[in-house]
Amino acid sequence: MSAIHQFVPMLHRYDAVGRHTLRLRDLLVARGIESRIYVEMVDPETEAETSLFPRYADTAQRGDVLVYQLATASALAPWLTERRETLVVNYHNVTPPEYYAAWNNPMARHQLRALHERANLAPRTSLAVAVSAFNEAELRTAGYTRTAVVPPAAIAPTSNTPAPAAARPGSGACWICVGRVAPNKGVELALMALLVTRAHHDPDVTLQVVGRPVVPAYSRALERFVDELGVRDAVTFRGGIGDSELVAAMGASDVLIMGSRHEGFGVPVIEAMTMGLPVVANREGALPEIVGDAGLLVDATDPYALADAAAQAASDSELRHSLAEAGSKRVKDLDLPTAGDRAVDLIAALAR
């Protein structure tokens, strides 16, 4: 069988795209298929596992299949457009530029470029694999004709601990937001709901925001917003943390808040459901598709609706139990352990 090589702008070991890329590489190699990872920029933590993409031309073989992990703009896109090998686009989502425009105009232009690159790759692509039906619809709109949906092949390790006990009378509930701290993630929506909850439901509720800051201006605005709302004592920004710390943080929480305005999949939702942690999510993007009936879906732009749902999920023991059971079933229905093999099957069929 021909070789199947992956191309990704930068390989980060602990983000969703990086985990997925490494998992596919390992599965391909385990099947006896030659597979390497080529990058535009080197991450020192994964340098030993990658090569700069121009080097591919030195070892290219007739019949190779190239897989592009598309999530942002990159010099890889126009370069792959000009190659003649069979091309597969694995689409993880591109955040629309309007979410960045008010905070960082260069980043907004970068996202606009990514959308143009996504469209330009369509005529060259033999197969496009999206991580959700929401993303597949975006690909169809962009001109891709042969598509499939396969979830990410690797989710951060979590534990199968039971759902934490509901908040006790006299002690505040613990909310957690997990994901990149970026404008589309809607952290400010959780902050507004927190204020409402402190006034109407639980004066001692707290919120942890876990994730790598992406846009400095947005992060600074969130800090100012916390002070203006008067909830400084209740909010902690933890930044990016490791897997074991994430497991501990989610295990000590009462509810996961996902206020994302645009989400291509929502890995933290899966991590929470795996641990039996109740999920309250925005009714936007891929979140309804991924959450299904295993969480509470609301219009997160309404702070009262979000506050009511979060307070209910944190305090109602019967609801928490039913959500934990539904979450466990939802994770099984998504069949994530076989996602990598399903993606490899689709790609390998082209290599034959």
With a cut of 90, say whether residue 21 has pLDDT above it.
yes
Mean pLDDT of 268-274: 95
pLDDT digits (tens, 9 = 90+) for 32-82: 999 999 999 999 999 999 999 999 999 999 999 999 999 999 999 999 999
Regarding whether 208 and 101 lie in a shared domain, the answer is no
CATH number at residue 234: 3.40.50.2000
pLDDT band at residue 162 using 50, 70 and 90 as cut-offs: very low
Regarding whether 67 and 125 lie in a shared domain, the answer is yes
pLDDT on residue 2: 87
Which structural domain range is residue 256 located in? 174-315
Regarding whether 263 and 214 lie in a shared domain, the answer is yes
Does residue 330 lie in a domain region?
Answer: no
pLDDT on residue 161: 52
pLDDT on residue 167: 46
State the DSSP string of 219-247: HHHHHHHHHHHT-GGGEEEEES--HHHHH
pLDDT on residue 261: 95
Regarding whether 223 and 133 lie in a shared domain, the answer is no
Regarding whether 180 and 262 lie in a shared domain, the answer is yes
Does residue 259 lie in a domain region?
Answer: yes
Does residue 328 lie in a domain region?
Answer: no
Regarding whether 19 and 136 lie in a shared domain, the answer is yes
* Cα 288 to Cα 147: distance, rounded to the nearest angstrom: 21
* Cα 119 to Cα 115: distance, rounded to the nearest angstrom: 6
Regarding whether 64 and 130 lie in a shared domain, the answer is yes
pLDDT digits (tens, 9 = 90+) for 90-115: 999 999 999 999 999 999 999 999 99
Regarding whether 150 and 19 lie in a shared domain, the answer is yes
From edge to edge, which strands make up the β-sheet containing 37-39? Answer: 51-52, 37-39, 4-8, 65-70, 86-91, 127-130, 147-149
pLDDT digits (tens, 9 = 90+) for 212-250: 999 999 999 999 999 999 999 999 999 998 889 999 999
pLDDT on residue 158: 56
Does residue 346 lie in a domain region?
Answer: yes
* Cα 343 to Cα 338: distance, rounded to the nearest angstrom: 9
Mean pLDDT of 176-193: 96
Question: At which residue do the structure tokens 């599965």 appear?
Answer: 27
The token pair that represents 120 in the structure block = 């330009």
Regarding whether 222 and 106 lie in a shared domain, the answer is no
The token pair that represents 174 in the structure block = 């613990």
With a cut of 80, say whether residue 170 has pLDDT above it.
no
Closest CA to 71 of 11, 127, 144: 11
Does residue 323 lie in a domain region?
Answer: no
Does residue 147 lie in a domain region?
Answer: yes
Does residue 279 lie in a domain region?
Answer: yes
Regarding whether 347 and 292 lie in a shared domain, the answer is no
CA distance to 6, 9, 73, 89, 334, per residue, from 66 (Å): 6, 14, 17, 8, 26
The token pair that represents 113 in the structure block = 């470029």
Regarding whether 131 and 14 lie in a shared domain, the answer is yes
With a cut of 80, say whether residue 154 has pLDDT above it.
no
CA distance to 77, 112, 118, 152, per residue, from 122 (Å): 11, 16, 7, 21
Does residue 307 lie in a domain region?
Answer: yes
pLDDT band at residue 15 using 50, 70 and 90 as cut-offs: confident
* Cα 253 to Cα 166: distance, rounded to the nearest angstrom: 10
pLDDT on residue 153: 86
Mean pLDDT of 148-166: 67
Q: Residue 170, Cβ neighbours under 10 Å: how many?
A: 6
Regarding whether 311 and 182 lie in a shared domain, the answer is yes
Residues 6+ apart with CB under 8 A from 31: 344, 348
With a cut of 60, say whether residue 169 has pLDDT above it.
no
Could you tell me which residue, 237 or 16, shows the higher pLDDT? 237
Closest CA to 185 of 208, 209, 153, 216: 209
Across all residues in the chain, what is the average pLDDT?
94
With a cut of 70, say whether residue 189 has pLDDT above it.
yes
Give the gyration radius of the chain's Cα atoms: 21
Mean pLDDT of 289-310: 97
pTM for this structure?
A: 0.90
> Taking a C-beta distance cutoff of 8 angstroms, is the pair 236, 208 a contact?
yes
Tally of domains within the chain: 2
